[in-house]
């Protein structure tokens, strides 16, 4: 079946495979808001699946026995064989997935999450936030800035906004903020009005055979968007082959960029910030007043600058942008404090790439000086861990004490001859521990570190509340 056969306005129901995932769940929430019936499958219950169920979605958590003998599936699945009742599956779902194969066998219309998002977004002015790092924080900051300045955007985010307690935020304007994911070349389904690219570090070897291959995908993303694209915003350090006809601006903390910011600490973990825009001769074109803002952690400065550049290019005044930052509450699992007092600091972060761990450790050192940092790290994906093993070992050696737990495989199978021991052996720390997942909480209860950070993109978050309880 052709995608053109799907009319979003005529959809009656959608079955989501992998409905608990951060990207797929946002689409499910959009459907419910638009009076489309939502069904779905996931391996286990979560905060996200509970929310979807609480507002009308129907979610199933088993299929293995035999799909045709499970009554609820027999009743529900039989509906999904036309363009008004479709199946959407996440990029993590393999082609041999039992449920997907069953839908295909009954001639259901099955499309990937990215294609469905592309269909939803085609009638909007899309602001796409792309990059290896920072895109969740940037897109969430941008959403908050726009909302605070009367631009009621719709947003699909890669994390749960603390301001809105959701990864999907409904708006009524023509603008849509989307976290544009490079994994599985998902962003190629979008045709944005504005593109921001924050970074392009080597990653996703299960999608891209080489770093050049990944860079080419970003170039294709830009080229595909040219008919609609009004502005391309890139970090100053990136070297992209860009059509001269595309309006392009860059940003960084350096004054050599088109956009920069000036900042200084005021002694209370707050920062005094001003935004600046330069012309080619380094003359001021625009400058905000100085504002005191709570930007935590320090590496969020560039994320905030990126979001601010988009907002300025959309016509917002820098002073209004800075004022809106004071009410920004952050994103869950992004430098999230679980405990913060004079005796104990416990932070959770989503960092799962060596560059992200570097930025995290740098911020911790800036905020807490030479206080001993104990980190729990769960590697995400066998392929990423193996491909970047030297970089991971170098980054993890920058803390004072490291605790490594099992690799979270996610969509992958284990790699023969490779295990967590390969990474553990390369880490150059005297205080390093390899701890089984089921022993972790008890281990921490005995260790009782004063500054603990738990890091990873897998299911490591399930340990956070248990660890918090034993530390308090």
Please compute the mean of the pLDDT values over residues 310-334 and round it to a whole number.
Answer: 90
Is 64's pLDDT higher than 60? no
Is 203's pLDDT higher than 90? no
Give the Cβ contact number of residue 258 at 10 Å.
19
Summarised one tens digit per residue, pLDDT across range 128-182 is: 999 999 999 999 999 999 999 999 999 999 999 999 999 999 999 999 999 999 8
Is 415's pLDDT higher than 80? yes
User: Are 312 and 318 in contact, with CB atoms under 8 Å apart?
Assistant: yes
pTM above 0.85, yes or no: yes
State what percent of residues in the chain have pLDDT above 90: 65
Please compute the mean of the pLDDT values over residues 372-384 and round it to a whole number.
Answer: 96
CATH of domain 336-471: 3.90.190.20
Summarised one tens digit per residue, pLDDT across range 213-266 is: 999 999 999 999 999 999 999 998 888 877 778 899 999 987 778 998 888 777
In angstroms, the CA 380 to CA 203 distance is 12
User: Are 15 and 87 in contact, with CB atoms under 8 Å apart?
Assistant: yes
Report the pLDDT value the prediction gives residue 17, as an integer from 0 to 100: 94
In angstroms, the CA 174 to CA 192 distance is 12
The fold for domain 122-325 equals: 3.40.1190
Structural domain spans, the chain = 11-118, 122-325, 336-471
Report the pLDDT value the prediction gives residue 38, as an integer from 0 to 100: 95
Tokens of 409: 């495989």
CA 42 to chain centre: 20
Compute the residue count for the chain. Answer: 472
In angstroms, the CA 43 to CA 19 distance is 9
In 57-96, which positions are buried (b, 16+ CB within 10 angstroms) versus exposed (e)? bebbeebeeebeebeebeebbeebeebbbbbbbbbbbeee
CATH class belonging to 11-118: alpha beta
Contacts 24+ apart (CB under 8 A), 254-261: 255/282, 256/282, 259/305, 259/308, 259/309, 259/312, 260/305, 261/301, 261/304, 261/305, 261/308
Is 434's pLDDT higher than 90? yes
Report the pLDDT value the prediction gives residue 295, as an integer from 0 to 100: 58
Tokens of 225: 């968007």
- 3-class secondary-structure state, position 230: coil
**What does the mean pLDDT of the chain come to?**
89
Give residue 370's pLDDT band: very low, low, confident or very high (50, 70, 90).
Answer: confident
Report the pLDDT value the prediction gives residue 164, as an integer from 0 to 100: 95
């Amino acid at each position: 079946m052709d995608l053109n056969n799907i009319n979003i306005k005529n959809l009656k129901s959608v079955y989501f495979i992998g409905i608990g995932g951060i990207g797929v769940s946002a689409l499910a929430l959009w459907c419910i808001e638009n009076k489309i019936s939502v069904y779905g499958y996931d391996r286990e219950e979560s905060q996200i699946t509970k929310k979807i169920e609480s507002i009308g979605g129907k979610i199933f958590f088993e299929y293995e026995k035999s799909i045709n003998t499970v009554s609820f599936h027999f009743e529900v699945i039989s509906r999904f064989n036309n363009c008004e009742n479709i199946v959407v599956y996440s990029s993590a779902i393999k082609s041999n997935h039992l449920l997907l194969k069953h839908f295909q066998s009954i001639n259901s219309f099955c499309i990937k999450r990215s294609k469905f998002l592309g269909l939803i977004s085609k009638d909007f002015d899309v602001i796409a936030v792309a990059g290896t790092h920072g895109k969740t924080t940037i897109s969430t900051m941008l959403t908050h800035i726009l909302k605070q300045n009367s631009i009621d955007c719709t947003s699909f985010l890669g994390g749960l906004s603390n301001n809105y307690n959701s990864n999907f935020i409904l708006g009524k304007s023509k603008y849509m903020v989307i976290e544009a994911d490079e994994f599985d070349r998902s962003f190629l389904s979008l045709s944005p009005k504005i593109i921001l690219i924050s970074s392009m570090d080597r990653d996703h070897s299960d999608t891209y055979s080489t770093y050049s291959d990944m860079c080419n995908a970003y170039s294709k993303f830009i080229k595909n968007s040219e008919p609609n694209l009004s502005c391309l915003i890139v970090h100053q350090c990136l070297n992209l082959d860009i059509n001269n006809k595309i309006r392009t601006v860059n940003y960084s903390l350096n004054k050599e960029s088109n956009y920069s910011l000036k900042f200084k600490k005021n002694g209370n973990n707050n920062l005094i910030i001003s935004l600046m825009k330069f012309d080619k001769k380094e003359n001021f074109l625009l400058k905000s007043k100085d504002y005191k803002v709570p930007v935590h952690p320090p590496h969020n400065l560039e994320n905030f600058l990126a979001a601010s550049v988009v907002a300025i290019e959309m016509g917002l005044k820098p002073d209004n942008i800075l004022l809106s930052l004071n009410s920004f509450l952050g994103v869950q699992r992004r430098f999230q404090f679980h405990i913060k007092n004079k005796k104990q600091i416990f932070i959770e972060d989503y960092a799962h790439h060596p560059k992200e761990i570097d930025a995290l450790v740098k911020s911790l050192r800036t905020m807490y000086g030479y206080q001993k940092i104990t980190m729990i790290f769960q590697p995400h994906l066998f392929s990423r861990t193996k491909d970047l093993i030297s970089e991971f070992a170098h980054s993890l050696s920058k803390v004072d004490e490291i605790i490594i737990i099992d690799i979270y495989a996610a969509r992958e199978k284990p790699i023969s001859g490779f295990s967590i021991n390969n990474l553990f052996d390369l880490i150059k720390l005297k205080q390093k521990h390899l701890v089984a997942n089921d022993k972790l909480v008890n281990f921490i209860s005995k260790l009782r570190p004063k500054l603990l950070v738990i890091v990873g993109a897998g299911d490591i978050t399930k340990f956070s509340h248990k660890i918090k309880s034993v530390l308090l």
